[in-house]
């Protein structure tokens, strides 16, 4: 039986308005009972929010910021704003009081850029946001959601609003940056296309009325929001169990326990989470769990490490986990969420290639001798193929389409692709070449399957969190002795640790005896403001860092020089260790390939 | 577990021991009650989550993460854990 495909998310919610046997449930804390919300109840809660927003004077197309840590309320707010035709702008909530200045700066930027008239939040966060009002003339008020809806009865009616497929559904600000997040503008048509493809039987994960999802992903981020709030409603899944992200980070075992408890079939997480679940979960925490119900364990949002997933599969095999459940995927906010999936039920596959060949922009299969010795090889995980009606191509620097096993830039086309960046013509223009979306990622294809090699953008991703090098550098400039405008941050892939190592190179005129103080202060400053631990800090004499003729810092080149040990000041001990990692780093090879 | 471990002083020693055993960068000065978790001990967010989970296991208590939002020093961690032990006694 084919389900009617809604044209907007609003229509999707209206279609489940009477459904009382399917639900979201939220695990917030071990001390609190699980909050159950049927789809019918969700519709009524969302309609109450919509009625309150209408009463408050919000109209079709207005933007409202959502800064709500608590998941049931966040879900009410996102659906409620959309029902009223208002555009929600999710903003991550403050995680730590200590980093408030950077947080407020970032939030101010997002709210200003999106022109939010109202911010919905909760009672704990509201006092922190007080400063925003004076800085943002367009912002009329910051309201606590529960207070805003209080005067309205639970079955409050709202004035009907006609929401069309081409209307903006929500703005997803690219995460991680404290200086310039861009508002990815997604329409209802974009999101319906993407979540229908995700849930589809062809190329998707075949979500059915029996499907049960489990997610600890933050809801202010695309993977959690689109994948577990929107997709289940549009595809009619039976149940989604949400776990608070902080709860997962504190005790990763809770993810596996919940999958077992609700007999979850579908879960998604970035690579680092599978690593945490292997390293930080003690056998006694997972005694007796049964993961045999899991048919999709998606992995995306950051580079996928074959070895991390393999270890997870081995660790959890005695608990019924099947490695065929792994579903490596490729995605990005500009493409709504998902771009490629591997086939359902396919086992984890890595393409073992000759590392050296990548420097010539080719992904040559490794020889049997290389595979046997493990030397000079790179395992690139198969991320699968695109959905129906969606296209992908690999091009060289001149936009010529490349063939199988030729490494180049990934370009995309199709109904899931964003309209552009919100009120940012310049960046929106740059995002497309001849109608194809520029992903900023590098990869190659084999028989229609995509293999992602790395990011050609400069974004640094550590444990699923995104950092822009500019933000790290800016923190360094606050330290006495660092030459302003002369610092470069870049990632170096560490295969053994299965993560990015972050290196910061700064120029300084300070005498040698101050080096330890400067290093220590930079480390503490970056840790304090960004919660990021730098792996290595290089102090260099003035004029060492590579710059363009116009004086712009060259980050990619600095990273390459670092790998080739051309940056003076690299301490021998550290570098040797690093060079060993780098010898096998596919990131290093691909980057140097593209420099040629 | 002996009763003395459940006093504030006892908890403080357990917190310090956890940090000594688990910190990646060994601190230059000995860890004391006044040590600042981020500025002096370079504790990152994952490590702080791990510390909380360990202390919960050790004392069989449960700590809400928002209770820890304002914490800056080792002593403050010990105070919250100690308060929780008493509340759940």
Residue A76 included in any domain: yes
b/e sequence A153-184, b meaning 16+ C-beta within 10 Å:
eeebebeebebebebbbbbbbbbbbbeebbbb
Give A97's pLDDT tier (boundaries 50, 70, 90): very low
Q: What's the pLDDT score for residue A593?
A: 35
End-to-end CA distance of chain A: 54
CATH number (domain holding residue A555):
3.30.300.30
Mean pLDDT over the full length of chain B: 83
Q: Give chain A's domain count.
A: 2
Q: Which of A250-264, A355-369, A547-561 has the highest mean predicted lDDT (pLDDT)?
A: A250-264
Contacts of B17 (CB under 8 A, 6+ apart): none
Q: What is the span of the domain harbouring residue B43? A: 3-88
CATH number (domain holding residue A166):
3.40.50.980
Can you tell me the distance from the alpha carbon of B41 to that of B54, in angstroms, rounded to the nearest whole number? 18
Q: What's the pLDDT score for residue A176?
A: 39
Of residues A574, A579, A547, A576, the one with CA closest to residue A563: A579
The predicted-structure confidence for A304-326, as pLDDT tens digits, reads as follows 888 889 999 999 999 999 999 99
Residue A51 included in any domain: yes
Does pLDDT of B2 surpass 50?
yes
Q: What's the pLDDT score for residue A95?
A: 63
Give A1's pLDDT tier (boundaries 50, 70, 90): very low
How are the residues of chain A apportioned to helix, strand and coil, as percentages rounded to the nearest 5? Answer: 35, 25, 40
Bridge partners for A263 per DSSP? none
Q: Are strands A266-269 and A239-243 parallel, antiparallel or unpaired?
A: unpaired
Does pLDDT of A459 surpass 70?
no
How many angstroms separate the CA of residue A115 from the nearest CA in chain B? 30
Rg for chain B, CA atoms, rounded: 12
Mutate to test the interface with A, among B62, B65, B77 (most CBs of A within 10 A): B65
CB contacts under 8 A, A 511-550 vs B, are 523-524, 527-528, 531-533
The answer to whether the beta carbons of residues A329 and A342 sit under 8 Å apart is yes
Can you tell me the distance from the alpha carbon of A219 to that of A228, in angstroms, rounded to the nearest whole number? 8
Q: Give chain B's domain count.
A: 1
A283 touches chain B (CB under 8 A): no
CATH number (domain holding residue B8):
1.10.1200.10
Bridge partners for A212 per DSSP? A239
The answer to whether the beta carbons of residues A86 and A53 sit under 8 Å apart is yes
Average pLDDT score over residue span A83-100: 81
DSSP class per residue in A230-265: IHHHHHT-SEEEEE-HHHHHH-THHHHHHHHHTT--
Can you tell me the distance from the alpha carbon of B75 to that of A443, in angstroms, rounded to the nearest whole number? 50
Residue A469 included in any domain: yes
Locate A3 and state its tokens: 């389900």
The predicted-structure confidence for A463-508, as pLDDT tens digits, reads as follows 767 677 777 888 898 899 898 788 999 888 776 666 778 999 998 8
pLDDT, greater one: B57 or A266: A266
Q: What is the span of the domain harbouring residue A38? A: 9-189
Angle at A559 between CA A554 and CA A564, to 5 degrees: 125
Can you tell me the distance from the alpha carbon of A258 to that of A447, in angstroms, rounded to the nearest whole number? 37
Mutate to test the interface with A, among B50, B51, B58, B72 (most CBs of A within 10 A): B50
Show residues of chain A in contact with B69, CB under 8 Å: 96-97
The share of chain A scoring above pLDDT 70, in percent, equals 88
Contacts of A585 (CB under 8 A, 6+ apart): A492, A493, A494, A495
How many angstroms separate the CA of residue B41 from the nearest CA in chain A? 9
Work out whether the CA dihedral B61, B64, B65, B67 comes out positive or negative.
Answer: negative
pLDDT, greater one: A427 or A471: A427
Locate A213 and state its tokens: 């999802």
Instruction: Decide which of A173, A189, A205 is a domain's last residue.
Output: A189
Q: What's the pLDDT score for residue A380?
A: 86
Instruction: Average the pLDDT over each of A98-107, A135-144, A495-504, A571-580 and give the range with the smallest value.
Output: A571-580
Instruction: Decide which of A156, A189, A222 is a domain's last residue.
Output: A189
Does pLDDT of A572 surpass 80?
no
The answer to whether the beta carbons of residues A340 and A197 sit under 8 Å apart is no
How many angstroms separate the CA of residue A447 from the nearest CA in chain B? 40
Work out whether the CA dihedral A226, A229, A230, A234 comes out positive or negative.
Answer: positive
How many angstroms separate the CA of residue B39 from the nearest CA in chain A? 5
Contact flag A246-B65 (C-beta cutoff 8 Å): yes
The beta-carbon neighbor of B49 closest among A29, A30, A250 is A250
Does pLDDT of A161 surpass 60?
yes
The predicted-structure confidence for A21-36, as pLDDT tens digits, reads as follows 999 999 988 778 999 9
Sheet holding A420-421, edge to edge: A168-173, A183-187, A420-421
The pTM (predicted TM-score) of the whole model is 0.80
Give A177's pLDDT tier (boundaries 50, 70, 90): very low
Contacts of A150 (CB under 8 A, 6+ apart): none
Residue A429 included in any domain: no
Can you tell me the distance from the alpha carbon of B50 to that of B55, in angstroms, rounded to the nearest whole number? 9
Instruction: Decide which of A189, A214, A249 is a domain's last residue.
Output: A189
Average pLDDT score over residue span A76-92: 97
The predicted-structure confidence for A327-351, as pLDDT tens digits, reads as follows 999 999 999 999 999 999 899 889 9
Residue A433 included in any domain: no
């Amino acid at each position: 039986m084919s389900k009617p495909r809604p044209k907007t998310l609003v229509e999707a919610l209206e279609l489940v308005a009477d459904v009382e046997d399917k639900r979201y449930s939220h695990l917030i804390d071990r001390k609190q009972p699980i909050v159950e919300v049927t789809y019918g109840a969700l519709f009524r809660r969302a309609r109450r929010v919509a009625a309150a927003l209408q009463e408050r004077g919000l109209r079709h197309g207005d933007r409202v910021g959502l800064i709500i840590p608590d998941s049931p309320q966040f879900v009410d707010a996102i659906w409620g704003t959309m029902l009223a035709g208002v555009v929600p702008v999710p903003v991550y909530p403050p995680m730590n009081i200590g980093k408030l200045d950077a947080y407020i700066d970032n939030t101010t930027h997002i709210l200003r850029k999106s022109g939010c008239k109202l911010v919905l939040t909760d009672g704990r966060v509201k006092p922190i946001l007080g400063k925003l009002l004076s800085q943002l003339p367009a912002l009329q008020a910051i309201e606590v959601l529960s207070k805003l809806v209080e005067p309205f009865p639970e079955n409050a009616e709202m004035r009907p609003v006609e929401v069309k497929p081409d209307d903006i559904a929500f703005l997803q600000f690219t995460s991680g940056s404290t200086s310039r997040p861009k508002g990815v503008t997604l329409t209802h048509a974009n999101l319906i296309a993407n979540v229908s493809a995700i849930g589809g039987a062809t190329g998707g994960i075949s979500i059915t009325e029996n499907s049960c999802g489990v997610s600890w992903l933050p809801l202010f981020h695309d993977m959690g929001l689109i994948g577990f709030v929107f997709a289940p409603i549009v595809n009619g899944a039976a149940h989604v169990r949400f776990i608070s992200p902080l709860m997962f980070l504190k005790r990763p075992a809770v993810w596996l326990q919940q999958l077992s408890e609700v007999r979850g079939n579908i879960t998604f997480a970035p690579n680092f989470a599978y690593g945490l679940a292997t390293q930080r979960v003690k056998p006694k925490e997972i005694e007796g769990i049964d993961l045999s119900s899991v048919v999709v364990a998606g992995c995306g949002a950051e580079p996928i490490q074959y070895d991390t997933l393999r270890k997870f599969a081995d660790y959890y095999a005695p608990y019924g986990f099947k490695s065929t459940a792994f579903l490596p995927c490729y995605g990005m906010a500009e493409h709504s969420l998902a771009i490629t999936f591997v086939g359902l039920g396919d086992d984890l596959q890595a393409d073992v290639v000759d590392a050296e060949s990548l420097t010539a922009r080719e992904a040559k299969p490794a020889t049997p001798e290389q595979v046997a010795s493990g030397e000079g090889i790179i395992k690139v995980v198969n991320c699968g193929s695109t959905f129906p009606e969606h296209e992908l191509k690999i091009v060289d620097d001149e936009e010529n389409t490349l063939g199988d096993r030729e490494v180049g830039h990934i370009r995309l086309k199709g109904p899931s692709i964003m309209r552009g960046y919100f009120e940012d013509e310049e960046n929106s223009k740059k995002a497309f070449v001849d109608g194809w979306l520029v992903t900023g990622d590098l990869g190659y294809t084999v028989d229609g399957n995509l293999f992602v090699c790395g990011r050609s953008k400069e974004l640094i991703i550590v444990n699923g969190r995104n950092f822009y090098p500019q933000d790290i550098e800016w923190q360094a400039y606050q330290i006495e002795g660092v030459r302003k405008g002369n610092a470069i941050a870049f990632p170096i892939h560490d295969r053994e640790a299965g993560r990015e190592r972050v290196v910061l190179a700064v120029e300084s005129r300070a005498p040698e005896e101050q080096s330890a103080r400067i290093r220590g202060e930079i480390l503490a400053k970056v840790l304090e403001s960004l919660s990021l631990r730098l792996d290595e800090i290089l102090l260099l004499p003035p004029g060492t860092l590579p710059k363009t003729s116009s004086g712009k810092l060259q980050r990619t080149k600095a990273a390459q020089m670092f790998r080739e040990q051309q940056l003076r000041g690299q301490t021998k001990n550290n570098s040797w260790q690093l060079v060993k990692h780098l010898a096998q780093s596919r990131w290093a090879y691909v980057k140097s390939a593209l420099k040629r | 577990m002996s009763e003395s471990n459940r006093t504030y002083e006892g908890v403080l020693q357990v917190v310090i021991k956890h940090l000594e055993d688990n910190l990646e960068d060994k601190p230059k000065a000995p860890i004391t009650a006044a040590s600042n978790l981020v500025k002096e001990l370079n504790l990152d967010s994952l490590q702080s989550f791990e510390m909380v989970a360990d202390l919960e296991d050790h004392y069989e208590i449960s700590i809400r993460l928002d209770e820890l939002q304002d914490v800056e020093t080792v002593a403050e961690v010990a105070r919250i854990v100690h308060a929780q032990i008493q509340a759940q006694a």
